[in-house]
Amino acid sequence: MARTPQDITDAELAVLNLLWERGRSTVRELTDVIYPGGSGSHYATVQKLLERLEGKACVKRDREPWPHEFESTIRREELIVRRLQATADKLCHGSLEPLLTQLVRNQTLSAEDRQSLRGLLDELDVEAKTSEK
């Protein structure tokens, strides 16, 4: 069984999380937050992580300003969905429904929560019906 590398590693995620918070940033700005009072090599570490994120199409580099500025090209929500799907693939033959079941069972939802959830489901039903013709 071949080993499958992680899509986005923890260190990379730390950078992405910061980009989501701060928006467009330089390597230095990110480094100073992730490694406060960090040495010179930490700068290179963050740079490498950004480079790898760029390779994974999760980050876009703007070479126009100097120093370069980085920006995430993936939204947090997209990554959430990606991870959910990965979990479903490995544990539920790709079906997301069991995840939903566990989440609903596990979380204490108020009556209002349940109602609004039903509303959302109704919306989805309508969308499905209108798009199928």
Partner DNA sequence: ATTCTATGAGACGCAATGTCTTTACGTCAA
Partner DNA sequence: TTGACGTAAAGACATTGCGTCTCATAGAAT
Q: Residues interacting with a second copy, by CB under 8 A?
A: 1, 3-4, 10-11, 13-14, 76-77, 79-81, 83-85, 87, 90-92, 95-114, 116-118, 120-121, 124-125, 127-128
User: Exposed/middle/buried for 58, CB within 10 Å: 0-12, 13-18, 19+?
Assistant: buried
* Minimum distance, C-beta of residue 102 to a second copy, in the bound complex (Å): 5
1 is a contact residue toward DNA (CB under 7 A)? yes
Q: CB 70 → a second copy: shortest distance, Å?
A: 18
The pattern of x and - marking residues 64 through 103 that bind DNA according to CB under 7 A reads --xxx-----------------------------------
Q: Binding to DNA by residue 47, rule CB under 7 A?
A: yes
CB atoms within 10 A of CB 90: 10
Pick the binder of DNA from 11, 79, 96, 99 (CB under 7 A). Answer: 11
**Residue numbers at the binding site for DNA (CB under 7 A):** 1-3, 5-6, 9-12, 26-28, 39-45, 47-49, 61, 63, 66-68
